[in-house]
Chains A and B, each alone.
Chain A
């Protein structure tokens, strides 16, 4: 379980707090969706929940980050990495820059955890298979499309088999199939007991994947509840968060005086085929 209690944070060199009194619990085996308008604090919350802010980037955190009952206050980055990993928005931020192939890039995480080589190979192969990266595993990590780089970054995390994962828009550059594949990979991690916090603009991905959704605005959590309820809440659109397609479409039909039940039955039929 990953837990933030009354967490407020400001970046080094800034007076203003960009997170204000955040309480958040992500239970084992749970995928919690994090939505909010741009610059509401989603990325900052991801950095704080991963411990990188302040451990790696400095700044001032008040409140506590607790992982599996232990306070992470003053932990070093490498100690944090054994507990919680983060996937950044931009895969180029993540790339090690020292691996010659995609395979080596993905193996680097478990290697750095000090695991025996056979175990590293097993984990690397498993992550590659899960995200169907076999065709590019011998490729140089800089010779990838934006979406491929993003999948490699996610595979690198999977190979570490972390107990807790923070993902900051992991599918931003992915095609719809890649997005679904990542969703499936995250679901499998959750089934193994990993706790996941998933910041996403793509509410279509969160719909059906997350049991719970947390809404952040101006650095504070404004809603925390069951996914179905929150994704259907008109407040999302008012905040500037794109509702899932099925919700948008139902609303558009309703607004025109049509029967939204048709959309629901049509969408169900479309999903079934």
Chain B
């Protein structure tokens, strides 16, 4: 679905934010991109919908080179949730904000209200449809920005730090949205610093360091003890269940609480 080949991006001030990145993301994959602040995660995904153009290399989306394709056209394929919701929100009413995207994509009026209602329902904002977005707190503005992206029903959804500012319930909601999108066959790309969210929610994890990819695999692989030195080289730490599992010598990677509970039960049953 997304094919990045030898991508480099150099900002106007000379910062080389992406350096020789190649990455193939298949249709229906759920993939998390993790790495230190400033490692190039946001810069990378902004090439997927044409917000940024490659300095070197090429990016293909759905088989077509993004070079020369218009942002408006790419917007129908790749939906992008920004880190900062206030860079995205502009309408005077929540409903109008969510309607804007699909309306511009030419979704017929008859379908529009159902699309908007579904997006508001998924994000828990159904009761706020007539509110002014700026009367919502930060966490709900963030969910509103997410609703606007969902309503566009793009085959690819890119979520740049979707869980920041969310409490436990908001986090569970975002988790469910990613899981549902994946179940519906959509391609989901998430950027996050929350290792538990990453390990529990995504099937594949890509680790970036200084504009390059240094690890790429399942959460079991990327958070396994063999990978810890690489993670540490970019100041990342595996989630607590992975560390506890390794220290208890359970013999297999336990990136999630559920995996650790299962492994502990198995170890107890076998008498070790």
Interfacial residues, chain A to chain B (CB-CB below 8 A) = 36-39, 43, 89-90, 92, 136, 139-140, 143-148, 151, 169, 172-179, 201, 237, 240-242, 245-246, 248-249, 252-253, 256-259, 262-263, 265-267, 269-270, 273
List the interface of chain B (C-beta within 8 A of A).
11, 13, 15, 35-38, 42, 83-84, 86, 137-140, 161, 164-171, 193, 195-196, 235-237, 239-241, 243-248, 257-258, 260-261, 264-265, 268
CB nearest to A204 among chain B residues: B240
Asked, given contacts A37-B167, A177-B236, whether A145 binds B42 with beta carbons under 8 Å apart, the answer is: yes
In the assembled complex, the CB of B232 is this many whole angstroms from the nearest CB of chain A, namely 10
Given contacts A169-B165, A258-B268, contact A146 B235 (CB under 8 A): no
Which residues of chain B are within 8 angstroms of A172 by Cβ–Cβ distance?
164-165
Which residue in A145, A175, A257, A258 is a CB contact (below 8 Å) of B236? Answer: A175
The binding surface of chain B is classed by DSSP as helix
Q: Which residues of A contact B247 (CB under 8 A)?
A: 265-267, 269-270, 273
Contacts A37-B169, A90-B84; A263 near B244 (Cβ below 8 A): yes
Besides the known contacts A146-B84, A241-B168, 13 further A-B residue pairs in the complex with CB atoms under 8 A apart:
A38-B139, A38-B140, A39-B140, A146-B37, A169-B165, A175-B193, A178-B36, A178-B37, A242-B171, A245-B239, A256-B264, A267-B247, A273-B247
> Across the interface, do B37 and A267 meet the contact criterion of CB distance under 8 Å?
no
Report the 10 A-B pairs with minimum CB-CB distance, sorted nearest first. A147-B37, A177-B235, A266-B244, A270-B243, A269-B247, A38-B139, A245-B240, A242-B168, A252-B257, A39-B137
CA distance A252 to B36 in the complex (A): 29
Q: For residue A268, which residue of chain B has the nearest CB?
A: B247
Q: Are A241 and B167 in contact (CB under 8 A)?
A: yes
Are A92 and B86 touching (Cβ within 8 A)? yes
Q: Report A-chain residues with C-beta under 8 Å of the C-beta of B236.
A: 175-177
- 22 A-B interface contacts by CB (under 8 A): A37-B168, A38-B139, A38-B140, A38-B166, A39-B137, A89-B138, A90-B86, A147-B36, A175-B37, A175-B193, A176-B235, A177-B235, A242-B167, A242-B168, A248-B257, A253-B260, A259-B264, A266-B243, A266-B247, A267-B240, A267-B247, A270-B247
